[in-house]
Chain A
Amino acid sequence: MRASGKRTLLLAAFAFAAAPAAAQTSQFEQYQKMVGEDSPAELFVLVGADLWRKKQGPKNASLERCDLGKGPGVVKGAYAALPRYFADANQVMDAESRILYCMETLQGRSRKEALKRPFGNADKPSEMEYLDAFVASQSDGFKMTPGMSHPQEKRAYELGKALFFARTGLYDFSCASCHGEPGKRIRMSDLPVLSEPGPARAAMSTWPAYRVSNSQMKTMQWRVNNCYRQMRTPQPVWGSEVVNSMIMYLTVNAKGAVYAGPGTKR
């Protein structure tokens, strides 16, 4: 058994990669843990909880009766079970799309008004960033179980997968160009292989996330939008089928992970 040593090593490496904390194997593990413990992310969660209960819009209603997929008013565990198909909207929605849907239906706000400023900045975070952080926080410790049974959910997954590998734009890039094979980095930060369960779990279980480099809470809608921007494609529409399908694909890759967000990232 001359190969046994090597095989053990390979096996060990594989087990490591498949663990939910795969992305934490970097030299920054200790840093990432400490930064996550006392993170401004919690401020977003607490402010988001207030906004969730705040009455506003033409109907002067709060979002407390919002059905995030677990029934009206149930926020616990809802984020971890998204994206999923919603019959009332006849589409697959991620958390942010569903929050927007509740702003429209419960609060009577127009899509245009509610979406006027989906991405905030360090000086003025957006309402959606606060709300998404709060909703996500209520799934801490829940297993990620995106919808995978409805035909539209399967379709969204397939579309997301196709988009992930489709080269496009000025640079002829695909998501997979950066996130399709191991060992890639931007500066000192490792790029997760998002088509693999291990790295996908580590990544998806910690979005939305507070970015220490720019002091902002970033959501999945932003994450996908910004990847396309970096690939020099036209900006995808917020909450569109393209973005939601991409989120579905990535989340299905991460299924089974224990959700631990909102996270804190470099």
Chain B
Amino acid sequence: MAGPMKARARMQGNYADVRVLMSHPMETGQRKGRDGKPIPKHFIQNLAVKLNGKTVIEGECSQAVSRNPVFSFRIGGAKPGDKIEISWLDNKGETNKTETAVA
């Protein structure tokens, strides 16, 4: 089950400053567990940011993104009250999403 995910968006002049925070192990596949066996890769591969339902940013990630990823984006043309939705999909097919209104 995916852990918590949160986002916030604030107007900064003419763009919305969006920060998204997610709980994810982002396992590299290079670490060993207590049993000495390698911990399998487990990381977010795809990310999408939507403004009022329309995709404005798409991201692809490797396992090199830090655990509990934090991303900041800037969306021009956004207004206070606009809906921002962010979703991710990892290499195991797990997904999560969150939404926030631009403040």
Q: Does chain A touch chain B in the assembled complex, meaning CB atoms less than 8 Å apart?
A: yes
Q: What is A's interface to B at a CB cutoff of 8 Å?
A: 38-40, 42-43, 46-47, 122-123, 212, 215
CB distance from B9 to the nearest CB of A (A): 13
Alpha-carbon gap, A47 to B19, bound state (A)? 15
**A43-B68 in contact (CB<8A):** yes
Taking the closest CB of chain A, its distance from the CB of B94, in whole angstroms, is: 14
Highest count of chain A CB atoms <10 Å: which of B6, B19, B72? B6
- Taking the complex as formed, is B10 at the interface, i.e. its CB lies under 8 A from any CB of chain A? no
**A123 to B68 Cα, complex, angstroms:** 10
Expressed in whole angstroms, the Cα–Cα distance for A122 and B23 within the complex equals 10
Asked if residues A47 and B68 are in contact (CB atoms below 8 Å), the reply is: no
Q: 8 A-B residue contacts at CB 8 Å?
A: A40-B21, A40-B23, A40-B69, A43-B4, A43-B21, A46-B6, A47-B4, A215-B68
Chain B residues within 8 Å of A47, by CB: 4, 6
- B69: chain A residues at CB < 8 Å are 40
User: Complex: how many Å from CA A39 to CA B20?
Assistant: 10
Interface residues in chain B, defined as those with a beta carbon under 8 Å from any beta carbon in chain A: 4-6, 8, 19, 21-23, 25, 66-72
Leading 5 A-B pairs by shortest Cβ distance: A43-B21, A40-B68, A46-B6, A215-B67, A38-B70
Q: How far is the CA of A189 from the CA of B24 in the complex (A)?
A: 27
Residue among A43, A122, A123 with most chain B CB within 10 A: A43
Select one of B4, B5, B22, B25 contacting A123, CB under 8 A.
B25
Q: A42–B72 Cα gap in the complex (Å)?
A: 13
Query: Taking the nearest CB of chain A, how far is it from the CB of B22, in angstroms?
Result: 7
- A contact residues around B71 at 8 Å (CB): 38
Partner of A40 from B25, B70, B72 at Cβ < 8 Å: B70
List, in ascending order, chain B residues with CB within 8 A of A42's CB.
6, 19, 21, 70
B6 surroundings in chain A (CB, below 8 A): 42-43, 46-47
Tell me the minimal C-beta distance from B66 to chain A in angstroms: 8
Give Cα distance in the complex from A38 to B7, angstroms: 12
Least distance between A130 CB and chain B CB atoms (Å): 9
Q: A38-B72, A215-B68 known; 17 other A-B pairs, CB under 8 Å? A: A38-B19, A38-B70, A40-B23, A40-B67, A40-B70, A42-B19, A42-B70, A43-B22, A43-B23, A43-B70, A46-B4, A46-B6, A46-B8, A46-B21, A47-B4, A123-B25, A212-B66
Q: Are B19 and A122 closer than 8 Å at their CB atoms?
A: no
Q: How far is the CB of B101 from chain A (nearest CB, A)?
A: 14
In the bound complex, residues from chain B placing their C-beta under 8 Å from that of A39 are 70
Most buried by A among B67, B68, B69: B68
The smallest C-beta distance from B73 to any residue of chain A, in angstroms, reads 11
Write the chain A residue with the least CB distance to B20.
Answer: A43
Interchain CA distance A15-B8 in the complex, whole Å: 38
Tell me, in angstroms, the Cα distance from A43 to B25 when the chains sit together. 14
- Give the shortest distance, in Å, between A134 (CB) and chain B (any CB): 12
Q: How far is the CA of A189 from the CA of B6 in the complex (A)?
A: 31
Bound CA span A123–B72, Å:
23
Q: Please give the distance in Å from B11's CB to the nearest CB on chain A.
A: 18
